Amino acid sequence: MRTRPIVDPAPPAWTFPGCEVTALDSGLRLVLVDLPGQHVLSIRTIVPMNLVDEPADTEGIFTVMSRVLDEGTASHSPTEFAELVERAGIALGAGVSDGGLSVDMDVPSGYAAAALDLLTELLSEPVFPGAEVRRAVAARLTEIDHADAHASSRAAKEFLATAVDPSHRASRPTGGERAGVRAVTSDALRREHARRVGPRGATVVIAGHLAGTDVASLASRALQRWRADGQVSPTPWRPPPSAPTAGRIVLVDRPGSVQAEIHVGWPGPDRHVDGGWAPYPAAAWLLAGSPGARVDAVLREEKGYTYGIRGAYRSRRRGGHVVVAGAVRGDVAVESLGLLHGILDRSADGFTDAEVASAVDFLSRTAPGRYATADTVADEVAALALHDLPWDFTSAYLAAVTRLDAEAVSAAHRRWLAPGMAARTSIVVGDAADLEPALRRRAQEAATRLDVVRSRPA
Amino acid sequence: MPLDYPIVEHTLPNGLKVVVSPDHTIPVVTVNLWVGVGSRHEEPGHTGFAHLFEHLMFQGSAQVAKGEHFESLLAVGGRLNATTWFDRTNYFETVPTPALELALWLEADRHGHLLAAVNQTNLDNQRDVVKEEKRERYDNAPYGTALIDIYATLFPSGHPYHHPTIGSMDDLDAASLDDVHAFFRRYYGADNTVMALVGDVDPEQALGLVERHFADLRPLGEPPRPPGPQLDPLTEPATLVREDTVPNDRVHLAWRLPVDRARDHDAAALALDAVAGLSMSPATVDLVRQRQSVTHLHSSVLALVDGASIGLVVLDVAPGEDPVAVEDQFCAVLEAFLQAGPGEALLEAVRAQSERSWLSALAAGDERADLIAQSTLLHGDPALVNTRVDSLRGVSADEITQAARRWLQPGSRASVTYRRTEDR
């Protein structure tokens, strides 16, 4: 056996890859990131769309739209389009989040031209055939059933419904609920597409090995064809306001559960926050990110109550939440909830120098490996567009992380930490027959209210 | 596209195989160890042991305290984990180049000197954690136990793939400290381990460091049992139906396929991909697009070494549709495919998709290290990463059709259906 080697503490000579940004006259921004050796190009398209702009009677329509953009265009039938995509080796996906529409393509570099043509086609001339729309609606309805059946997604949904004021769209699932989704039609999709999906304010990111191919010209030539005369600007984003029900404990009855899913959260900052974003991922890592983090040190490694509890500062485009969530053994669920809130209460005392040093080293030194491939770099740059952040945000953030100390991380965490159990929303998804009496006592002790949700949501 | 990742091989006198693939694009290196033990090696009454053992590997070793392996690598900018599968257990970390020796020291300490630190408290704690892992991923998740049912339906009792890696909780409850010691001595040895190093390293220097820290690891001497013979396809459908509180009826169909690297493995895998893996696949067009009897269709192949691989198709049955009829519809599409084989466009798409998927996997140094360790441990072929894309491209339409007719007959399927009961 040898003795433990000493690690040279010098930080790596590495910076986040640079972005070359050009603007097309349509208002589209084209961002190129050259990554030598990455022969599968990652193309990410972001169209800022605010969910509050969905018509109230068809909430979920943006998500349904994202899934039928490639299901029939003015030039190709759904199966013809699928064939063109798949024969070019393209992996295609699309979805909607709080910041807008994302269309993702990964493609071998030799097929870049084909990919950019197909991308332009699905963005600019989808026709939303009735049969495909009905299929996408049915698929989304199934997806809602699945989300309600999984304890973790059920808890996340109940958290937003309890913590966010119902006047704000963020209190309901991004993909919509059953009634709104059922009301989506081809006509409604055409109308929304014409108003929302245009090049103005949109961004196309292309990351990968760019030398030897004039990707910039290929992209501008193809994407110049994307026009949308009727495009209207999205409503400005605002942080989701808290609901009167925030701070309650909500027990969602899931009979027969062999575990309880716990989901605790409170309002948090977004990445535009005063003082900078750098302290927040560090605080989350120390609280419930690292395998040795404070929550798992007790609930997993000391008690053996869980496979793992994870936490994060979740930034939206504007506003956010701090969330700590995971599954615990059913018969210790109420005890676990108490232990978790105790750890959160004590986190107000701050983090130690040693803790913060380890978080700083982890977050800053893993960056070269985390951003080693075209897809991870493209995803990060696309996230900047989705969150309305400058192109140098990531490198500035990583530099700021290296300057963090215990004082800075503790103060930032304290600034947002909701004081006490009754100030944090707690969701428990499990078997109410086992959990309700003890949970009711716990709610009384904490001077908050327990609500029990018994039926499946409509 | 010819690939030319550099491959430097070396075997230590104790039998540890090391493969180094330098890549100086970014200042990190991945260390990836594959140990030739998985759930396929577990004996009746001792299932779940390989996986429980993986957990214990993070609980300290001769010179390393509980949790210190994770903490000390995370704190220098490492990302790390371990996984257990039928055929192997792997341990891996990606670290900044200056931390390579620390990673090697930590791995050598647990791979060589684990038992000094294993105690009853650690065993009891990690047994509880594994039970929560099973509840979370299997018992409390809709369809979470479907794969367990599929393995048990597709393979006869006693076959190495009849039981899942998570194992039986009764077996875990019965595990003693003596069992843990015996397991380590039986399976964890230098000559049953492969190490891949991919990244910002000089091969000679890296091999010097590996020699320094791993030369004193003991070899097993006696290798674990070799894989058994190839299983034939099922001779008639095997069926299991469960009533469960799931959101919709779901049909899982599975086939025994040729073992990984067998001559017609790739052809059979490409056939399944062609028939059900793409948007333009005949099963997708017929069931999902036209009939709309299925809301979601998924296919995959688990490439394995011990007597069979597994081809899997999952069909989410649309509301109001009969799962038996849906299964019949799928079998009719499959039957037609066996007759006609893939057309030119479908063949081109399947090749293009598999090629892109491989290139994407190889794009990341950590995944490349995993693939190198895999091909070295299971197939004795460290350079597979350079030849894989070309060999996939070389599979002909005729080979795909022939392999499909041999391995993917509707009558050879195992069928596991989860039927929705109305109320939870």
Predicted confidence (pLDDT) per residue in B313-367, tens digit: 999 999 999 999 999 999 999 999 999 999 999 999 999 999 999 999 999 999 9
Facing A258 at nearest CB: one of B139, B216, B352: B139
Which residues, including other chains, have CB under 8 Å from residue B279's CB and lie 6 or more apart? A79, A82, A85, A86
Report residue B197 as tokens.
Answer: 């190093």
d(CA A279, CA A43): 30
Return the closest-CA partner of residue B350 out of B410, B396, B303, B287: B396
pLDDT tens for each residue of B99-122: 999 999 999 999 999 999 999 999
pLDDT tens digit sequence for B218-257 = 999 988 999 999 999 999 999 999 999 999 999 999 999 9
Which two structure tokens, joined as six digits, stand for B199? 């990244």
ipTM for the assembly: 0.94
| CA–CA distance, B7 with B23 (Å, rounded to integer) | 11
Size of interface A-B (CB pairs under 8 A): 217
pLDDT of residue B2: 67
Report how far residue A19's alpha carbon sits from residue A32's, in angstroms, rounded to the nearest whole number. Answer: 6
Tens digits of per-residue pLDDT, B402-415? 999 999 999 999 99
The tokens for B305 are 């070494």
In angstroms, rounded to a whole number, what is the distance separating the alpha carbons of residues B120 and B84?
A: 22
For the CA atoms of chain A, what is the radius of gyration? 24
- The strand pairing partners of B31, in sequence order, are B93, B197
User: Which one, of B44, B37, B57, B47, lies nearest residue B169 by Cα?
Assistant: B47
Specify the amino acid at residue A48. P
**Rounded Cα gap, residues A192 and A61, in angstroms:** 8
Judge contact between B346 and A166, C-beta under 8 A: no
DSSP A298: I
Name the strands in the sheet holding B28-35, side by side, starting at the edge strand that comes first in the sequence. B8-11, B17-22, B193-199, B28-35, B89-96, B79-84
Looking at the DSSP bridge assignments, the partners of residue A264 are: A324, A426
What are φ and ψ of residue A453, in 5° steps?
A: -105, 115
Whether B356 and A36 lie within 8 Å, measured CB to CB? no
- B119: closest CA among B178, B43, B200, B39? B178
- Side-chain-side CA neighbours of residue B74 (13 Å): 22
d(CA B372, CA A364): 28
- CB A44: neighbour CB atoms within 10 A? 25
**C-alpha span between A54 and A47 (Å, rounded):** 15
Judge contact between A109 and A40, C-beta under 8 A: yes
Residue A456: predicted pLDDT: 57
DSSP B280-307: TSHHIIIIIIII--EEEEEEEEE--SSS
Contact B363 A39 (CB under 8 A): yes
What is the structure's pLDDT at A13? 78
**CA A166, CA A352: separation in Å to the nearest integer?**
39
Token pair for A179:
């009634």
Query: From CA A268, how far away is CA A416, in angstroms rounded?
Result: 6
What letters, b where the CB count within 10 A reaches 16 and e where it falls short, cover B153-186?
bbbeeebbbbbbbbbbbebbeebeeebbeebbee
For residues B49 and B130, the answer to whether their CB atoms sit within 8 Å is: no
Using CB atoms, pick whichever of A111, A329, A358 lies closest to residue B132.
A329
CA torsion A379-A383-A384-A387 (nearest 10°) is 180
Tell me the backbone φ, ψ of residue B264, rounded to 5 degrees.
Answer: -105, 15
List the structure tokens of A299.
Answer: 């609930």
A93 at the B interface (CB within 8 A)?
Answer: no
Q: Cβ separation of B213 and A365 shorter than 8 Å?
A: no
pLDDT number for residue A410: 98
Considering only alpha carbons, which residue of chain B is nearest residue A372? B364
* Mean pLDDT, chain A, integer: 96
Mean pLDDT of B42-60: 94
Phi/psi of residue A44, each to 5°? -120, 125
Condensed to tens digits (0 to 9), the pLDDT of residues A69-113 reads: 999 999 999 999 999 999 999 999 999 999 999 999 999 999 999
In whole angstroms, what is the distance from residue A121 CA to residue A197 CA?
A: 12
How much is the average pLDDT of B64-80?
93
Q: Which residues of A touch B78 (CB under 8 A)?
A: 362, 366
Inter-chain touch B101–A5, beta carbons under 8 Å? yes
Amino acid, single-letter form, for residue B77: G
Task: Give me the amino acid identity at A47.
Answer: V
Segments in chain A below pLDDT 50: 457-458
Above 50 in pLDDT, residue B424?
Answer: no
Q: Which residue blocks in B6-99 are alpha helix, DSSP H?
A: 49-56, 68-74
Q: List all residues 6 or more positions away from A403 whose beta carbon is below 8 Å from its beta carbon.
A: A278
CB contact under 8 A, B112 and A2: no
With beta carbons under 8 A apart, name residues in chain B contacting A302: 125
Angle at B227 between CA B225 and CA B231, to 5 degrees: 140
Query: How is residue A242 annotated by DSSP?
Result: B
- Which whole number is the average pLDDT over B395-423? 95
d(CA B206, CA B197): 8
Q: Fill in the amino acid letter for B258.
A: P
What six digits make up the tokens of B216?
């004193």
The answer to whether A231 and A202 have CB atoms below 8 angstroms apart is no
C-alpha to C-alpha distance for B99 and B28, rounded to whole angstroms: 9
Q: What are A82's two structure tokens?
A: 């699928």
pLDDT band at B1, cuts 50/70/90? low
CA distance B190 to chain A (A): 15
Q: Sort out which chain B residues have CB atoms less than 8 A from A90's CB and list them.
A: 356
For residues B52 and B386, give the distance between their C-alpha atoms in angstroms, rounded to a whole number.
34
Find the CB nearest B26 among A83, A255, A368.
A368
> Is the CB of A36 inside 8 Å of chain B's CB atoms?
yes
- DSSP tag of B155: S
Q: Can you give the length of chain A in residues? A: 458
User: Which residue from B minimizes the CA distance to A253?
Assistant: B424
Q: Which residue of A has its CA nearest to B424?
A: A255
Is there a contact between A369 and B366 (Cβ–Cβ < 8 Å)?
Answer: yes
Question: Cα A45 to chain center, whole Å?
Answer: 16
pTM of the model: 0.95
Q: How far is A233 from chain B (nearest CA, A)?
A: 34
Q: Which of B101, B107, B105, B92 is nearest to B30 (CA)?
A: B92
Kindly report the nearest CA distance between residue B230 and chain A, in angstroms.
32
Q: How many CB atoms lie within 10 A of CB B383?
A: 18
The Cα B42–Cα A14 span in angstroms is 45
- In A74-176, the DSSP E strands lie at 91-97, 100-108
Closest CA to B55 of B162, B169, B133: B133
